[in-house]
Amino acid sequence: MRIAVAMSGGVDSSAAAALLKEAGHDLVGFTMQLWDPRRNINVDENGEPLPSRCCSLDDVADARRVAGKLGFPFYVLNLESEFEKAVVEPFVNSYLQGETPIPCVACNSRLKFDALDKMADSLECEKVATGHYARVFRNEVTGKFRLLRGKDLSKDQSYFLWELGQSQLSRAIFPLGELTKPQAREIARRNGLWIAEKAESQEICFVPDGDYSGFIDRYLKSVGEDGKIPESGEIVDTSGKVIGEHSGIHRYTVGQRRGLGVASAKPLYVVQIERAKNRIIAGEAEELLKKRAVLKGLNLIAGFEDLKTSVGGSQIEFRAKVRIRYRHEPAPASVVTIGNSKAEVIFDQPQRAITAGQAAVFYDEETGDEVLGGGWIVGSGD
């Protein structure tokens, strides 16, 4: 089988390629050039460029060397313009609206898999492969493709793939879905790949130091939009009393405690960000607990097939375990869809820090293994 393989220059994609090569497949490797580190947006306090974990020359060179070692052709796709429009600009604008975005979802569903599918078509590849820790299978009865969590739950990346559709999943292969990270490193070692010991990044790839607000400030200046940088404003308690001043809403996220600069007898947290009033609402820990999440951009991977639903008018309700951020333990809830693109999640028990801009991802209630779909959080309530 001829397979297009996405290669980042890291352990996971290299191990995935090695596994497919061992299985006798005909491979074509691709690295996606997404961000130009020479723009000098990511710099330290002295103005020196930070080491990049996104499309650095070293990463591209590593991917090329792995392809050479394993014996298959390799290409670099320049997607910098598409990445900026589809991922970076929405990321910046989301923070400016008082949200906390998660760009990896959009990058996967709206850029990486789309680009891989197009390259696969042009080179007559039957499948596309990545190093994600997730699994995909086809239900022989319904003909629908289903997405499952990776076997190694500590590395599971299914949360970032909930926007994938049937067409994308029908071509996707995740060779590491049944494996652990140590096993992936061992596969790289047995294939003589020095990449086996390479460290992995835990941050958003185009913000290597994790300083999101600093990146936003520098990015807006670099594109001549300094006027969009949020000004300082009030921090108020839940009764509306002014208790401090913030330095720009893009520097805060729901659930944050550090950096408020407000004296209080009890610890205070960001419980809400009001973009229209340019203010932060702070409260005690229990005020972060909410039972409802309002969603937009609903995607149900296999439609409503096999879901135990109840129908009433234009609303359809089903049960699921719902994850509201990557490291959140999926919690039992009812999901009520509103039309084709909106939904409301009602949790059995209140959840901490339901945050606009994050994704709510639905998992099968009984096993917690299958990803049913998800949506983008736009609000929360009691």
Which residues are part of the catalytic machinery?
Answer: 107, 205
Separation of alpha carbons 238 and 195, rounded Å: 51
Determine contact, residues 128/171, Cβ cutoff 8 Å: yes
Separation of alpha carbons 289 and 311, rounded Å: 29
Determine contact, residues 58/31, Cβ cutoff 8 Å: no
Q: What are 149's strand-pairing partners? A: 134
Residue the block writes with tokens 């990044």? 201
Separation of alpha carbons 235 and 244, rounded Å: 5
Count, residues in the chain:
382
Determine contact, residues 298/373, Cβ cutoff 8 Å: yes
Residue-wise DSSP of 213-268: HHHHHHHHHHTT-GGGSPPPEEEEETTS-EEEEES-GGG--TT--TT-----SS--
Phi, psi (deg, nearest 5) at residue 75: -135, 155
Determine contact, residues 298/342, Cβ cutoff 8 Å: yes
Amino acid at 107: C
- Return the structure tokens found at 82: 């598409």
